[in-house]
Amino acid sequence: MVSTPAVVIAAPASGSGKTTLATGLIGALRRAGHSVAPFKVGPDYIDPGYHGLAAGRPGRNLDPVLVGAERVLPLYRHGTRGCDIAVVEGVMGLFDGRIDEHQGQSVAEGSTAQVAALLGAPVVLVVDARGHSQSLAALLHGFATYDSEIRLGGVILNRVGSERHEQVLRAACDRVGLPVLGALPRMAELAVPSRHLGLIPAVEHGGAARSAVDAMIELVAAHVDLAAIARLAGARVSGPSWDPVAELRAPVAGAPVVTDPAAGTWEPGAHGVQRTADGPVIAMAGGAAFTFGYAEHRELLAAAGAQVAVFDPLHDDLPTGTAGVVLPGGFPEEHAAELSANDRLLDALRAAAHAGMPVHAECAGLLYLTRSLDGHRMAGVVDAAAEFGPRLTLGYRDAVALTDSALWTAGQRVRGHEFHRTRLISAAAADPAWAWRAPDGEAIREGAVIHRVHASYLHTHPAGNPVSIAGFVAAAADYAALRADV
């Protein structure tokens, strides 16, 4: 498969305006007639929601830490089917990545620079122009020459204060031979509301998110040279595309071809069912409280033979015929009262878990399964209370499974990511799901395996662990068969 050309939107540091630029660029290119594939470097779930609104197709992640560097290019090709250009938003600063075991390396694992090198795509550096003058030339010279694997194709000046300021900055860019691809004025009204884990997800922000995205598109369309961006785009020439059925190592009889994501329109959090032949129904939580997920998760579940039914725990019941439940991450702490009010679903989920239905719960899903969340009653599957905590827990983890479950075998090693500001209190003893060592060397045991429930704060990427998806669907099929015999 020939790769779709891409540009990578990077910055010297966090807070430079990458998300505004990337989201606006995606939408502006789309309005100019391009079919745009949106990507985000790293495990971030929130930015892809805004990308998806701008692109009209799911935003996807490229994370070498969670899926392995060898899968980045195939996943990229899979996500660009039917597109003529891709926009890849970076993470943090261009060369920032996982630091636990990679200090001293020029290209850190999971960094924007690593992904740009893997894709063979040029980098557009977004610079927050506030406080910059002639010395910008020295900063750009450093970024352009730091690593020969990285091709810096141009600069976008963000938050420019005046015409005179722009002239000085353009002269600095000329001095190091980097073209200015755009210059955006300061626009405070574009700020999107945020909270403890970053931007408010697009699904929760509703019409305000759509308005913010439209404003980003208008800003970029007016101040960025879209034709120059399109000419700059590039990528490695050819190679295989990621295939969810092939990733499962053995094609499943009757497994469907997953619907081409380029077809039709897409809205984040939309309800719907992906049907296979006669496989087990996997109910996947969505809606405003459960917004964290990867597009490849549904695709792998469908490739393994499952019927994937998306439901909203704020007001829905479990879908008819449910044989397994996926409770992904999100912000249940922001919707605890509404979640608690859906008594019928809480009771049904608790009864199903105790009856042996496989349940995969990550972060928000773990909180939903506790006895209570900030004093609001939850499902009571995990014997613990949860509350909003004093500090953010964030970072990659090299974890080992401690207990056999529907997804993992004890002793299996997995890379995951934590991202939460809640904590469990008054937790009763249970079989732990994971163990890892904290950066300070402390041994951590985390999560719980109860019946066929696997609940944990750890986020994993299904594309990096396809065998876990096959195991979960098989467990759901076994449960469905047992219930049919009752």
Nearest to 22 by CA among 290, 303, 220: 220
Name the H helices within 323-447: 336-341, 343-354, 364-369
Whether 259 is covered by a domain: the verdict is: no
Measured between alpha carbons, how far is 36 from 382 in angstroms, rounded to an integer? 42
Q: Assess whether 228 and 363 both reside in one domain.
A: no
Whether 245 is covered by a domain: the verdict is: no
Is 20 in a helix, a strand, or coil?
helix
Which has more confidence, 355 or 210? 355
- Return mean pLDDT, the chain: 89
pLDDT band at 266 (very low <50, low <70, confident <90, very high): very low
Q: Provide the CATH number for the domain around residue 293.
A: 3.40.50.880
Q: Assess whether 300 and 186 both reside in one domain.
A: no
Give the type of residue at 353: A
Q: Assess whether 199 and 286 both reside in one domain.
A: no
Nearest to 81 by CA among 230, 248, 242, 305: 242
Q: Provide the CATH number for the domain around residue 98.
A: 3.40.50.300
Nearest to 312 by CA among 278, 335, 281: 335
Q: Assess whether 180 and 301 both reside in one domain.
A: no
The structure tokens listed for 70 are 């060898």
pLDDT (0 to 100) of residue 390: 86
pLDDT band at 255 (very low <50, low <70, confident <90, very high): very low
pLDDT of residue 273 exceeding 80, the answer is no
Whether 251 is covered by a domain: the verdict is: no
Angle between helix 47-55 and 202-223 (nearest 10):
60
pLDDT of residue 257 exceeding 90, the answer is no
Q: Assess whether 361 and 474 both reside in one domain.
A: yes
Measured between alpha carbons, how far is 397 from 415 in angstroms, rounded to an integer? 6
Q: Which residues contact 167 (CB under 8 A, 6 or more apart)?
A: none
Q: What is the dihedral of CA 91, 228, 223, 133, to 10 degrees?
A: 70
CB 460 within 8 A of CB 362: yes
> Among residues 67, 363, 406, 473, which one is catalytic?
363
Is 385 in a helix, a strand, or coil?
strand
Q: Assess whether 367 and 469 both reside in one domain.
A: yes
Mean pLDDT of 294-309: 96
Q: Assess whether 185 and 323 both reside in one domain.
A: no
Q: Assess whether 414 and 277 both reside in one domain.
A: yes
pLDDT of residue 253 exceeding 60, the answer is no
Measured between alpha carbons, how far is 90 from 2 in angstroms, rounded to an integer? 23
Among 186, 208, 232, the domain boundary falls at: 232
Domain of residue 462 covers 269-485
Nearest to 180 by CA among 112, 116, 126: 126
The structure tokens listed for 138 are 């020295």
pLDDT of residue 430 exceeding 90, the answer is no
pLDDT of residue 277 exceeding 80, the answer is no
pLDDT band at 77 (very low <50, low <70, confident <90, very high): very high
Nearest to 454 by CA among 401, 388, 392, 389: 401
pLDDT (0 to 100) of residue 192: 60
pLDDT of residue 158 exceeding 60, the answer is yes
Whether 160 is covered by a domain: the verdict is: yes
Q: Assess whether 172 and 273 both reside in one domain.
A: no
Strand partners, 435: 400, 445
Lowest mean pLDDT of 259-268, 355-364, 420-429, name the range.
259-268
Spell 325-354 as b/e; 16+ CB within 10 A means b. Answer: bbbbbbbbbbbbebbbebeebbebbeebbe
pLDDT (0 to 100) of residue 101: 52
Q: Assess whether 476 and 353 both reside in one domain.
A: yes
CB 157 within 8 A of CB 186: no
Among 211, 232, 253, the domain boundary falls at: 232
Is 215 in a helix, a strand, or coil?
helix
Which three-class secondary structure string do you get for 93-121?
CCCCCCCCCCCCCCCCCCCHHHHHHHHCC
pLDDT of residue 148 exceeding 50, the answer is yes
Q: Assess whether 224 and 290 both reside in one domain.
A: no
Please report, rounded to a whole number, the percentage of residues in the chain having pLDDT higher than 90.
79
Whether 311 is covered by a domain: the verdict is: yes
Whether 168 is covered by a domain: the verdict is: yes
pLDDT of residue 254 exceeding 50, the answer is no
Q: What is the pTM of this model?
A: 0.91
CB 307 within 8 A of CB 279: yes
pLDDT (0 to 100) of residue 120: 96
Q: Which residues contact 30 (CB under 8 A, 6 or more apart)?
A: 36, 54, 55, 56
Whether 256 is covered by a domain: the verdict is: no
pLDDT of residue 267 exceeding 80, the answer is no
How confident is the model over 49-69, as pLDDT tens digits?
Answer: 999 999 999 999 999 999 999
Please report, rounded to a whole number, the percentage of residues in the chain having pLDDT higher than 70.
88
Lowest mean pLDDT of 69-73, 240-244, 269-273, 376-380, name the range.
269-273
Q: By CB neighbour count within 10 A (0-12 exposed, 13-18 middle, 19+ buried), where does 120 fall?
A: middle
Mean pLDDT of 180-198: 69
Measured between alpha carbons, how far is 401 from 457 in angstroms, rounded to an integer? 13
Is 467 in a helix, a strand, or coil?
helix
In the residue annotation, 363 being an active-site residue is answered as yes
Q: Assess whether 228 and 273 both reside in one domain.
A: no
Nearest to 316 by CA among 291, 335, 343, 297: 343
Whether 1 is covered by a domain: the verdict is: no
pLDDT (0 to 100) of residue 225: 98
Highest mean pLDDT among 43-52, 240-249, 370-379: 370-379
Measured between alpha carbons, how far is 450 from 160 in angstroms, rounded to an integer? 55
pLDDT (0 to 100) of residue 191: 56
Domain count, the chain: 2
